Chains A and B, each alone.
Chain A
Amino acid sequence: MRGTSGREGQQAPAKRVQFSSPFLPYLFLAPQLAIILVFFYWPSVQAVQSSFYLEDPFGFGSTFVGLTNYTDVLKSTEYLGIARFTAVFTALVTFFALATGLLLAVKADGVIRGNAADKTLLIWVYAIAPPVAGLIGMMFFNQHIGPMVELARWFGWDIKVGLDYSDTAFAMIVVSVWKQIPYNFIFFLSGLQGIPVSVREAATLDCRSELRRFWTVTLPLLAPTAFFLLIINTTYALFDTFGVIDVMVKDKAANNPITLVYKVYMDGFRGSDLGGSSAQSVILMLVVLVLTVFQFRFIERRVHYN
């Protein structure tokens, strides 16, 4: 959801006619603004502030420590390991979710053009919450009853989710990708169906090979959709997979792969390391900011060239 509507950053060109009233617009804005101030700006400022402080473990106030929390976090090998895993995890989830979504959309576009009922089977998983997907995943990778374990054994792979680091990572990636495919499918399909028939026909005449036509005509036309989805999938893999991971590692994070968001949660709520957790929050905020700025820069370009 996040960011989906944020593709346009410019201020609204005013309507030709508008009401003017000294207080009404403020009245209408008040509820939204109040909630945003209390539940967005206040905590955000707090996060930045407490990232510069060291909380006394016994609750006797806190001392200003400058950038120590940040240097501690960035020097910790554990944190860097988790950052590395998060990067790999995000890249793999994003790649496979996008690729599968695109493949299915291209095939569906050829086969079920315009038929809504057939799409249902491919999109309904969108409505399943990540932790619920994680629960089903856990069952499929369960040592006693899981069919995926049997399937892996068939190929001579003794898969141990929850015990073996890379096996758990594998299961997490599979579940996270599965959950995200419908979203990408919907957007790619609507992007494909937005390509005018005249363009399709011209492309068919010019280029016999279906595969080449895909690479030279369809994919460039889908580029805006793909780029938008790239950002959305990256934020999905970074943040929304929390539920999948939390269910799959079941509080035994020690030997299991976790992502940066999970680490923020663990340090903040389990370890009560307020300063360290806040510093990590701020680092994540910067990552999201970079992603968002990147997204807007791209959209600006797109607006210019279209």
Chain B
Amino acid sequence: MHRTRIIDHVILLIGAFIMVTPVVVAFMTSTHDAADIHRNGLSLTWGGHFAETYETVLTREGGFTGKVTGFNMMMNSMILGLGFAVGKIVLSMLAAYAIVYFRFPLATFFFWVIFTTLLLPLEVRILPSYEVMNALKLTNTYTGLIVPLLASATGTFYFRQFFKSVPDELLEAARIDGAGPFKFFIDVLVPLSRTMMAAIFIIMFVYGWNQYLWPTLMTTDEGFFTLVRGIKQILLVWVGSNIPDYNEAFALAILAMLPPVMIVVIFQRWFIKGLTESDK
């Protein structure tokens, strides 16, 4: 019995090591200067160039137009992450409210219209989606970046499940008190949904921030690049340079993962709740 316990711990330690080390190495290496990395390889120790490298990465104007900074890309990532998460919550709460709390003739039909979107991920219809965006002149806009990603029913289903679990007595009581649909939604349902909203916000923010394929298609103007979208550009720039700026590449990678990782770590409980409970 005692022996298996030790083995369990060892396996967990190895697991944690494998999950954590690459990122720690990426961070530590980013604090060395490029020539040092080129000579000595990746590093597990502090290099002392943290401030310079991160300042360069965040403020130096680069790219083809010479006007894009890391800070700029970070802001775009933030807009995409926040815009997507907020949009998702607003749209899906409203739609779920209509489906669960209203009696209307086309309810079943609309339920299926929305439900069908779960069948086909964006990746299988990228080219036609791009054509549509082109036709609507939405390429290189924040609208084009965010809104098409909202065209899926995930959030609606989370909230539908949740609303269904809200006791009927609340609505009965509210109606006796004379509350209409708007009042009930704002004064009863929204406050009740707070935890649920937080959980979904976290998941959706991470999802939005981490988008890659869609921003790659939608944005050719570097002013709209997100950090995650800019990653490949970083790698492409190396081709042909003598001493690649490994440190800067690592620094950008760290910046690109920092906000979502922080959110998941800090709000771990809500994050796990949102991820697992919503699909029971």
B192 CB contacts on chain A under 8 angstroms:
none
A127 CB contacts on chain B under 8 angstroms:
206, 210, 257, 260-261, 263-265
B228 CB contacts on chain A under 8 angstroms:
129, 131-132, 243
Contact digits for B1-33, partner A, Cβ 8 Å, 1 yes 0 no: 000110011011001101110110110010000
Which of B90, B104, B265 is the most central at the interface, judged by chain A CB atoms within 10 Å of its CB?
Answer: B104
Q: Does B201 contact A (CB under 8 A)?
A: no
Contact digits for A1-36, partner B, Cβ 8 Å, 1 yes 0 no: 111111111011111111111001110110111011
Instruction: Return the contact of A20 from the options B104, B261, B275 (Cβ within 8 A).
Output: B104
B152 CB contacts on chain A under 8 angstroms:
2, 40
Say whether A145 contacts B37, CB under 8 Å.
yes
Closest residue of chain B to A175 (Cβ to Cβ) is B22
Contact digits for A218-259, partner B, Cβ 8 Å, 1 yes 0 no: 000000000010000001000110110011001100000000
**Whole-angstrom distance between the Cβ of A303 and the nearest chain B Cβ:** 12
Q: Does B57 contact A (CB under 8 A)?
A: no
**Chain A 99-143 interface residues, beta-carbon cutoff 8 Å to B:** 100, 103-104, 107-108, 110-112, 116, 119-132, 134-140
Q: Does A181 contact B (CB under 8 A)?
A: yes
B253 CB contacts on chain A under 8 angstroms:
132, 135-136
Closest residue of chain A to B202 (Cβ to Cβ) is A127
**Chain A 242-283 interface residues, beta-carbon cutoff 8 Å to B:** 242-243, 246-247, 250-251, 261, 264-265, 268-269, 274, 277-278, 281
Q: Does A92 contact B (CB under 8 A)?
A: no
Which of A111, A136, A187 is the most central at the interface, judged by chain B CB atoms within 10 Å of its CB?
Answer: A136
**Whole-angstrom distance between the Cβ of B59 and the nearest chain A Cβ:** 21
Say whether B119 contacts A39, CB under 8 Å.
no
Closest residue of chain B to A48 (Cβ to Cβ) is B128
Q: Does A289 contact B (CB under 8 A)?
A: yes
Distance, CA A138 to CA B232, complexed state (A): 11
Say whether B110 contacts A33, CB under 8 Å.
yes
A15 CB contacts on chain B under 8 angstroms:
100-101, 164, 168, 171
Q: Does B278 contact A (CB under 8 A)?
A: yes
A28 CB contacts on chain B under 8 angstroms:
94-95, 97-98, 102
Say whether B128 contacts A178, CB under 8 Å.
no
Say whether A278 contacts B42, CB under 8 Å.
no
Q: Does B157 contact A (CB under 8 A)?
A: yes
Which of B37, B101, B168 is the most central at the interface, judged by chain A CB atoms within 10 Å of its CB?
Answer: B101
Q: Does A74 contact B (CB under 8 A)?
A: no
Q: Does A284 contact B (CB under 8 A)?
A: yes
Say whether B150 contacts A285, CB under 8 Å.
no
- How many residues belonging to B are interface residues under a CB distance threshold of 8 Å? 110
Interface size class of A (residues with CB under 8 A): 35 or more
**Chain A 154-203 interface residues, beta-carbon cutoff 8 Å to B:** 178, 181-183, 186-187, 190
Say whether A2 contacts B121, CB under 8 Å.
yes
Q: Does A60 contact B (CB under 8 A)?
A: no
**Whole-angstrom distance between the Cβ of A129 and the nearest chain B Cβ:** 4
Distance, CA A46 to CA B125, complexed state (A): 9
Say whether A121 contacts B101, CB under 8 Å.
no
Instruction: Return the contact of A129 from the options B8, B212, B264 (Cβ within 8 A).
Output: B212
Say whether A32 contacts B11, CB under 8 Å.
no
Given A129-B257, A131-B231, A284-B124, A39-B102 contact (CB < 8 Å): no
Known: A4-B275, A25-B99, A44-B125. 20 other contacts (CB 8 A): A4-B154, A5-B153, A5-B157, A16-B168, A29-B98, A29-B110, A33-B113, A35-B151, A120-B268, A124-B265, A129-B231, A131-B231, A132-B256, A135-B253, A139-B249, A186-B275, A190-B272, A243-B213, A250-B239, A284-B123
Measuring CB to CB, which residues of chain A are less than 8 angstroms from any residue of chain B?
1-9, 11-21, 24-26, 28-29, 31-33, 35-36, 38-40, 42-44, 46-47, 50, 100, 103-104, 107-108, 110-112, 116, 119-132, 134-140, 144-147, 150, 178, 181-183, 186-187, 190, 210, 228, 235, 239-240, 242-243, 246-247, 250-251, 261, 264-265, 268-269, 274, 277-278, 281, 284-285, 288-289, 292
Measuring CB to CB, which residues of chain B are less than 8 angstroms from any residue of chain A?
4-5, 8-9, 11-12, 15-16, 18-20, 22-23, 25-26, 29, 37-38, 41-42, 90-92, 94-95, 97-104, 107-108, 110-111, 113-115, 117-121, 123-132, 136, 147-148, 150-154, 156-158, 160-161, 164, 168, 171-172, 175, 181, 184, 203, 206-207, 209-213, 216-217, 228, 231-232, 234-236, 239, 246, 249-250, 253, 256-257, 260-261, 263-265, 268-269, 272, 275-276, 278-279
